[in-house]
Amino acid sequence: MQVNKRLVKFILGIMLVGLLGVFVEKNIQFFKQRDNKMTKQASLKESSQSAIKKNKRQQHLHVDWRKPSMKKTAYPSIAKHPNLWIHVSLRKQRVYLIDKDKCLYTMYASTGKPGKTATPKGVYHIQGERGDYFYSQSEDEGAYYWVSWKNHGEFLFHSTPTDAEGKYLKSVAADLGKRPSSHGCVHLTVADAKWMYENIPYGTKVVID
């Protein structure tokens, strides 16, 4: 009888330890999930705050739409960088001139508005068509220093737009480096567009994403 009591106590002890172990494990899992959730929420909050701060900086960015985007850096020499290619960032509203993995120059840009006039993503190449001025009656806008990169004259790099008289639209120029405002082309400052027109070779790769 004494042996049976000891056996029962032993079994009850094992069961109690097992139940305690399950309880502890569930609590550990609960706190881990809670901590992960709190960490994720904190990360999302931090990312959101960072995006808001970045957006505010972007909105207060002052771009001189007549001059080169980079004041202290000269435009790259095509002769020294024959493998130069162009990266258009739709998210950042920037155009990067790159040789291999090195960014040589950064230009402020304004790409196509979301929707039907969005700038198409993909890999393209500078085409043969270019000119010092055009005016589109259908869009009621013109621009200086244009270079085609898709559909032979449809999608272009060009200066910030002008009206029918060739006068720059300052309200649209204010969007450079801040937000999309074009009909699909890539707007640049006047100086940047002029450099593109005069220097970028036929066949130069253009990556838009």
* Residue pLDDT, tens place only, 99-148: 998 999 999 999 999 999 999 999 999 999 999 999 999 999 999 999 99
Quick check: 147 and 157 in contact, CB under 8 A?
Answer: yes
Q: Domain coordinates of the chain in residue numbers?
A: 1-60, 85-208
Phi, psi of 200 (to 5 degrees): -70, 125
Q: How confident is the model at residue 38 (pLDDT cuts 50, 70, 90)?
A: low
CA distance 193 to 161: 11
151 or 12, which is more confident?
Answer: 151
Q: How confident is the model at residue 54 (pLDDT cuts 50, 70, 90)?
A: very low
Adjacent-strand bridge partners of 124: 206
Q: Point out the residues that are catalytic.
A: 158, 185
Q: How confident is the model at residue 48 (pLDDT cuts 50, 70, 90)?
A: very low
CATH, domain range 85-208: 2.40.440.10
C-alpha closest to that of 189 among 69, 86, 97: 69
C-alpha closest to that of 128 among 165, 153, 94, 93: 153
- Return the pLDDT at 85: 98
Q: With a threshold of 0.85, does the pTM exceed it? A: no
